[in-house]
Amino acid sequence: MGKIALAIHGGCGVMAKLGLTDAEWEAARVDLGHALNAGWAVLQANGSALDAVQAAVVVMEDSPHFNAGYGAALNAAGEHELDASIMDGATLEAGAVTLVRRIRNPVKAARRVMEKGDAVLMGGSAADDFAEAEGLDIVEPTYFTTEKRVKALAAMKAHAAAGTAAAASESEKHGTVGAVALDAAGHLAAATSTGGYNNKPVGRIGDTPIVGAGTYARDGLCAVSGTGKGEFFIRYAVGHEVASRIGYLNETLEQAASEVIQHDLKPHGIGAGLVAVGADGSIAAPYNTDGMFRGWVTPEGNFFVATHDEVFSLGAARGGVSS
């Protein structure tokens, strides 16, 4: 069996350390561990990178601690508009959904769009209807709403009224979840899901459902999932840019990922981060904010999660954290 590797992120919009209780921090770390377990179980069973990233993202979509699925951000109208995408590095096939309101796990709908092959990106009510016709779990929009996001929307509206939106904390602004993986056959995959940013304009579409921006995977190079101010990820085609630097400049994964986050994006004063896995099993997770929810499993099977600079070891390949 060839090398396998997995990395995830839960968004670079991490609360300040004093903004959550120890219990809330622990709960978020536990759910990161569950996501790693879900993806790693697929890879260890000789499953595909595509199945692994989907499994990991579904766990985070179902967790209230991250801005995707249950617990997603609210737009300016106080409603949810969700985005997700997935990409297969072996074939460059991809699928995405945007502005969906009723799909419990948008990443599953993105996968189904990819498999159908009639489109790469579907949006709005048509995407909701497509997912329902495909037998995916459909919920009422209120399912996604949590008290934390309601408070964050109120905070952002207050910032907007006062003209201080730029000074809002990263956690008040945005967040995303994503996963990247390398499977035993040498194939790469990436998946990303988000509720966008709090108080976003109705109908706004960020980088998450844009293949090559928030999500990209190409065998022999890398798989990338991004988090941050999506408009800049689109302008810089961040996922594709990381892969291109590896392919054309022979940079390492760490060099390419760091150059894009710390050099290209940082001067714009926007929060940005990503996780990436290389064709050799290397892992990179650069960010330019106070923190980023992230986790990874090395090819040797060692589990790690982190929020800010502190990294927590969850043990070896027997499985990370317990329920």
Cite the active site residues.
Answer: 176
Parallel, antiparallel or unpaired: strands 94-100 and 121-123: parallel
Q: In this structure, what token pair is assigned to residue 134?
A: 């495909």
| Burial class of residue 170 in the structure, from the number of CB atoms within 10 Å of its CB (0-12 exposed, 13-18 middle, 19+ buried) | buried
Edge-first strand order for the sheet with 215-218 is: 215-218, 222-228, 272-278, 283-284
| Burial class of residue 162 in the structure, from the number of CB atoms within 10 Å of its CB (0-12 exposed, 13-18 middle, 19+ buried) | exposed
The 10 Å Cβ neighbour count of residue 111 is 27
First to last CA, the chain: 28
Which of 259, 267, 253, 252 has the alpha carbon at shortest distance from 224? 253
| Dihedral angle over CA of 261, 166, 66, 316, nearest 10 | 40
